[in-house]
Amino acid sequence: MLSKQDRLSRPEFSEYFKSGSRQHSDVLTAVYTPHARLRGAVVVSKKVAKKAHERNTIRRRLYAALERLGKERGLVGVVILVAKPPLARIPRLEQHASVDVVLSRYLKER
C-alpha cells in the first residue's frame, strides 16, 4: 500500500485527473501524468462493489499493485486508477496483472 504521503490529496486529485493521459482496459482506467516520484490514487465506486468492505479490499489490492510496480519496475509519475465493475469479479492476481497491462505503456516510456 502506498504511504499516506505518496497518495494524492483531493485538490491534487482534481488537478491531475483533468490533465492526465488515459489508458483504458476492460476492468480499469488509468490516468497518468509524469512526475519526479510515484504518487497515486485509487477510485472504487459503489457501481463496482456495493459493500464498503469489498470496495476497501479492491482499493487495498490496487494500491499494493501500484506500489509493487513502483518498486520492482521503476514506475514514477502520478497514477490514478479508476476501477470498473468487472474488476470485482476477477481474482486478486488477475487484478494485479490488469494494473500491469494498463500501465505497461508508461513503463516502456521510461
The burial of 93, by beta-carbon neighbours within 10 Å (0-12 exposed, 13-18 middle, 19 or more buried), is given as: exposed
pLDDT at site 105: 83
pLDDT at site 110: 54
pLDDT at site 22: 95
pLDDT at site 1: 86
C-alpha to C-alpha distances, 94 to 36, 41, 100, 109, nearest whole angstrom: 28, 19, 10, 23
Domains of the chain: 4-109 (3.30.230.10)
pLDDT tens, residue order, the chain (110 aa): 889 999 999 999 999 999 999 999 999 999 999 999 999 999 999 999 999 999 999 999 999 999 999 999 989 999 999 999 999 999 999 999 999 999 988 876 65
